[in-house]
Structure 1
Amino acid sequence: MPLTTDDLSTFTTRGMIVKRNFVPASLIDDATALVTNWYHTGLDQRRITEFTQRTFAPHLGDHRDLLALFYRSGVAELAGELIGDVAPVTTTQIQIRVPEDQLDQAQPEKAMHVDGIACPHLDPAELRTFSLLVGVVLSDIIDPAGGALRYVIGGHLQMAEWFRTEWSLGITAQAPPHIDAELGIPLLGKPGDVLLMHHLVPHAVGRNLTAIPRVMAYFRVSHVDRASRRLDALRDPWLDFPPLTARLR
């Protein structure tokens, strides 16, 4: 099902769209079984910080059952409606918020940030930005205290202004103070729900105080020209979205 005019308007003003029950159950079941098996048999808690900063189950990143969530579900087509010429997506990031009472050590929380900018595990002068964050829900997320992603509505426009007027490459702050102080809106949902979020929307992730692991599959989607204009795309939030801007004129 293509994006509607209301979807596009919502993406423009809020910076994100959630498509409920979008990914077919068969694809969700295959991906969930893969990740769940690794979680129960391969999770090394000594690497919890590494997994949190990068990806859980790193060896599964290019597995066909995970990439199918993007390519065989209709999600790739949604991304194309927003971006147009999409660079190949070759890997999946798995993010799990482990229930706190099941951990031997604390899982790091993530303060308000934009991915790929001043990350704790990156050189501040290094940019690993992209155009669109796509998230596929793989577990029930019904409680905000369950490690839900929290995002700032309309924050993509505020971040673009900050990048234009105050920020420069090498600054270690991940967001301006007024954004950093935001609690954010929790992303709640069920397996098969899809988040399409502008890269510049600041977001955070906290502790999981429930008994259920929160599992998300993420895809970082880029316009084919993104690598040659990373700085420009931070300052102009619509540079990577020509089909969107054309349809809303």
Structure 2
Amino acid sequence: MPSPAPLSQSDLHAFVADGVLIRRGLVPDRLLQPAAHLVDAWMREHYDHARLTAYTNQTFAPDLAGHPDLLGLYNDSGLHQLVTQLLDPAPTVPLTTAQIQIRLPDGAEQPVKAMHVDGVSCPHLHPEDLNTFTLIAGVVLSGSATGEAGALHYLPGGHERMARYFAEEWTRGQAAQTPDDIARQEGTALTARPGDVIVMHHLVPHRVGLNASPVPRVMAYFRIRHADHSRLAEAALTDPWLEYPGLAALAADTRPRS
């Protein structure tokens, strides 16, 4: 199993500031190709257009969530070690499932995802429910590397604004997922190729739009939870570094003084 280079202080500072870390070409073809072929076969043999909204809101290929070829993208590529470095010394819940997200070529009538934070005020959850996590790791399986090809769009640094929103403006059960100043942002497009990886703090707001390219954009996502996340979940909405003990002091040192 390859081990990624240790994260530098510059990497850690960038993650604290942006809430995002990108690694190009981290997942090798020997892991990427079996996973991509698995999802492609599912699309050809099992995809049900009537369930497109459910797939988009939750996951495509739900029956493959625990398949070894998908979990290997995280466990065997060095991505697991990268995440461990960010969360060190916090333990995490063992990973057992992958989420597949596909942005189909334009014309598929696929719902557009507005700027949001996962697991809070989601249309497919009860308003009072939280289904949050500590960070998300995404692997590009296939698709065009352009911003208009169904790419993830994220808001660097938005985790700090969202923490203030959850502390000062949000009440559990409300429909709005983000404040107005976040909702109207376009975000930065993840212009990435197959094998590229993004690791993103849970509180970083993000969205995904239409795919104007002729090919599907396929991502595999892995939701990583602190081992005590069930207890810390609501508090972590207002304290972005509660579940990152190794980065908490760095974040405090770099946060602007009032």
Q: Shorter-chain TM-score: which interval?
A: over 0.9
Structure 1 residue 131: deviation in Å?
0.3
> Residues 167-246 of structure 1: matches in 2 within 5 Å?
167-245=170-248
Structure 1 residue 247: deviation in Å?
6.5
Q: Counterpart of 1:93?
A: 99
Q: Counterpart of 1:68?
A: 72
Q: Counterpart of 2:13?
A: 9
Letter in 2 for 1:130: F
Moved more, 239-248 or 113-122: 239-248
Aligned equivalent of 1:41, options 45, 48, 68: 45
Structure 1 residue 143: deviation in Å?
1.9
The percentage of aligned residue pairs carrying the same residue is: 47
Structure 1 residue 78: deviation in Å?
1.2
- CA distance in 2: counterparts of 1:89 and 1:7, whole angstroms: 24
Letter in 2 for 1:208: N
Letter in 2 for 1:61: A
Tell me the alpha carbon deviations over residues 167-215 of structure 1, each in whole angstroms, 9 at most, x when there is no partner. Answer: 1111110000000000111111111111000000000111111101000
- CA distance in 1: counterparts of 2:96 and 2:239, whole angstroms: 26
- CA distance in 1: counterparts of 2:42 and 2:205, whole angstroms: 30
Q: Check whether the contact 2:27–2:196 (CA below 8 A) recurs between aligned residues.
A: yes
Letter in 2 for 1:245: A
- CA distance in 2: counterparts of 1:156 and 1:245, whole angstroms: 14
Moved more, 46-55 or 1-10: 1-10
Q: Counterpart of 1:159?
A: 162
SS of the counterpart of 2:237? helix
Tell me the alpha carbon deviations over residues 125-157 of structure 1, each in whole angstroms, 9 at most, x when there is no partner. Answer: 100000001000111332211111111110000
Structure 1 residue 231: deviation in Å?
1.1
- CA distance in 2: counterparts of 1:245 and 1:23, whole angstroms: 29
5+ residue gaps, structure 2 = 254-258
Tell me the alpha carbon deviations over residues 21-69 of structure 1, each in whole angstroms, 9 at most, x when there is no partner. Answer: 0112100011011011111222111110010001000000000000001
- CA distance in 2: counterparts of 1:160 and 1:63, whole angstroms: 34
Q: Check whether the contact 1:151–1:185 (CA below 8 A) recurs between aligned residues.
A: yes
Q: Check whether the contact 1:133–1:196 (CA below 8 A) recurs between aligned residues.
A: yes
Tell me the alpha carbon deviations over residues 81-140 of structure 1, each in whole angstroms, 9 at most, x when there is no partner. Answer: 112311111100000001123x3xx10110110000000111111000000010001113
- CA distance in 2: counterparts of 1:12 and 1:194, whole angstroms: 18
Q: Counterpart of 2:256?
A: none
- What TM-score does the superposition give when structure 1 sets the normalisation length? 0.96
5+ residue gaps, structure 1 = none
Q: Does 1:31 align with 2:35?
A: yes
- What TM-score does the superposition give when structure 2 sets the normalisation length? 0.92
State the 4+ residue runs in structure 1 displaced beyond 6 angstroms.
none
- CA distance in 1: counterparts of 2:249 and 2:187, whole angstroms: 30
Structure 1 residue 246: deviation in Å?
5.3
Letter in 1 for 2:134: S
Moved more, 179-188 or 39-48: 39-48
Aligned equivalent of 1:117, options 116, 120, 129: 120
SS of the counterpart of 2:199? strand
- CA distance in 1: counterparts of 2:7 and 2:26, whole angstroms: 12
Structure 1 residue 74: deviation in Å?
1.1
- CA distance in 2: counterparts of 1:225 and 1:155, whole angstroms: 24
